[in-house]
Amino acid sequence: MAQVTIYLDDAAERRVKAAARRAGVSVSRWVAELVEARTRTEWPTEAKELAGAWTDFPDLEEIRPGTSKDQRRGRLVTDWYE
């Protein structure tokens, strides 16, 4: 496991320590959990488990009845700012 050194001003350090104390974890654990949450590249397991949880949620055919094939899109103009 890697160790990282960060520099915080006094006010930020107080806020981090207070947040860790409220969460009941060490400052190191609190920062590690924050980094994990902010850099996660996939949905948490809890969120994935919600898929299909609402049995009365309408499916795509109910939401968009009678929709036709997608229309062809025009070319994206990227030089508008020049």
Distance CA 14, CA 51 (A): 39
51 Cα distance to chain centroid: 16
pTM: predicted TM-score of the whole model, two decimal places: 0.54
Outline where the chain has alpha helix (H).
10-23, 27-39, 45-49, 60-63
Task: Say if residues 30 and 19 touch (Cβ distance below 8 Å).
Answer: yes
28-68 confidence digits (pLDDT tens): 999 999 998 889 888 888 988 888 888 888 887 788 777 77
User: For tokens 């939401």, what's the residue?
Assistant: 63
Running DSSP on this structure, what letter comes out for residue 20? H
Instruction: Say what percent of the chain tops pLDDT 90.
Output: 41
Distance CA 35, CA 74 (A): 40
The chain-wide mean pLDDT, for the chain, equals 87
**Is residue 81 pLDDT above 60, yes or no?**
no
The confidence band for 80, taking pLDDT boundaries of 50, 70 and 90, is low
